Chains A and B, each alone.
Chain A
Amino acid sequence: KAGVTQTPRYLIKTRGQQVTLSCSPISGHRSVSWYQQTPGQGLQFLFEYFSETQRNKGNFPGRFSGRQFSNSRSEMNVSTLELGDSALYLCASSLEAAVSRDTQYFGPGTRLTVL
C-alpha cells in the first residue's frame, strides 16, 4: 500500500506570494492532519480534516487555510507569505478521525523556503 505522498517536495517563494501544498493520504484513510516543523518551534499542529470538514485547528493565523476533497486528498494554502513561514510542512493521515488509539502516518513533507 502506498504511503502518504506530498507534493511538491521543495518550494521556494518570495514574501507576499501565496502557496498551495498537496497531500494524498493512504488509500482508505479519511482523516488528514497538517503540521508545521521549524527549528525554533518544533512540530506544531495546523489543522485536521475529516470527510471534507475541518474538525480541529491549531493556533495559526488565518493566512493558513486548508481543505479536503471527496477523495480525502487535502490541500493547504498559505497566503501573503512571510519569512517566518519557511518550514517543513508535514501531512499525516489516519483511518478514522479522533480515535486516540489510532496511528497517524506521516508523509515526507514539503520544504518551503520564503525569500
Chain B
Amino acid sequence: DAKTTQPNSMESNEEEPVHLPCNHSTISGTDYIHWYRQLPSQGPEYVIHGLTSNVNNRMASLAIAEDRKSSTLILHRATLRDAAVYYCILRKGGSEKLVFGKGTKLTVNP
C-alpha cells in the first residue's frame, strides 16, 4: 500500500486559513488522493478528494502538486468545529480499502 506522510500535529487560530500538508512520493498514476477527518468521538468524515487537478468544495480545497507527490488540504477559515484528526489517504483503483496513517491532529485556538 502506498504510504502518506503527514505532520503529527498542527495548530491554528480561529478564522485563519489552515494548510495541512501530505507527502505521497510513491503515488501511482491511478491513485486518488482522499482526505477524511475524524472529530472526537465520531467516525471519520469525508472531506475532499482529487486525482490531478485542484479541487474545491464547501468544506475545503485540495491543492495537488504537479508531480502528484504531495498535496495540501486548505481550510479557508478555521473554526473550532474543524478541530479534528485529518487523514490523507491514497485510494487505489479496484479497492474499497482505505489505508489510514496516523493523520494530523489539528488544534484550533479561539
Q: Is the CB of A100 within 8 A of B91?
A: yes
Q: Which of A50, A98, A103, A107 contacts B43 (CB 8 A)?
A: A107
Which residues of A come within 8 Å of B, CB atoms? Answer: 4, 31, 33, 35, 42-45, 48, 50, 55-56, 58, 90, 92, 94, 97-109
Point out the residues of chain B lying under 8 angstroms from A48, CB to CB. Answer: 96-97
Q: Does B44 contact A (CB under 8 A)?
A: yes
Chain B residues within 8 Å of chain A by Cβ, number: 24
**Given A42-B101, A42-B102; A97-B42 close (CB under 8 Å):** no
Q: Does B94 contact A (CB under 8 A)?
A: yes
**Given A42-B101, A42-B102; A103-B46 close (CB under 8 Å):** yes
Point out the residues of chain A lying under 8 angstroms from B97, CB to CB. Answer: 33, 45, 48, 56, 58
Report the minimal beta-carbon distance from B38 to chain A, rounded to whole angstroms: 8
Point out the residues of chain A lying under 8 angstroms from B42, CB to CB. Answer: 108
Point out the residues of chain B lying under 8 angstroms from A103, CB to CB. Answer: 46, 49
Point out the residues of chain B lying under 8 angstroms from A90, CB to CB. Answer: 43-44
Closest to A31 in B: B96
- A70–B37 Cα distance when bound, in Å, is 31
Q: Does B65 contact A (CB under 8 A)?
A: no
